[in-house]
Amino acid sequence: MMFMVGIERPRSEKEAWGLIVPVFDKFGYGCFSAFDSESSILSHAQMAILSAAEEFIQDGHLFTALDEGFRNYREEYPDYHDWIAVDVPVERLKRLQKRINITLPETLLARVDAYVGFHREFKDRSDFLAKAADKYISEEKTP
């Protein structure tokens, strides 16, 4: 799905680049990011869109409601002078679970099971592994 992304250029060396994806605003979701280099625009835009779309879909909205993501927002967002179109496969975020087969050392699996058994915020081993992966990916610094 295509999304228009507004880019805010830094005014000084001490400021960061910024971006906004306006289609989420009309539904009450903010979709924006800040980063240090122009070369990071695309990766930050894609990650911001995927994060916002994931929350959007988890809250029960249909991803087809985002079809307006690819239109001209210049008049509504005059502070953003530069705009790019970004293609992000949000359709893959549907609510369906997918079973996978992974291999882990027995000792690690035992530790995971013990941790999940003690920490009741996780429904099961899969829930823990999914949340751990999501946390690790979310904290990653994009080059």
48 three-class SS: helix
| 138 vs 30, more confident | 30
Residues 15-43 have pLDDT tens digits of 999 999 999 988 899 899 999 999 999 99
Supply the pLDDT for residue 111: 95
63 three-class SS: helix
CB neighbour burial string for 37-57, b if at least 16 within 10 angstroms, e if fewer: eeebbeebbbbbbbbbbeebb
In the predicted structure, residue 96 carries a pLDDT above the cut 70: no
- The fold for domain 1-95 equals Double Stranded RNA Binding Domain (3.30.160)
Q: Considering the entire predicted model, what is its pTM?
A: 0.67
* Cross-strand partners of 83: 6
Supply the pLDDT for residue 140: 65
Supply the pLDDT for residue 90: 85
Supply the pLDDT for residue 83: 95
Spell out the domain ranges in the chain: 1-95, 97-143
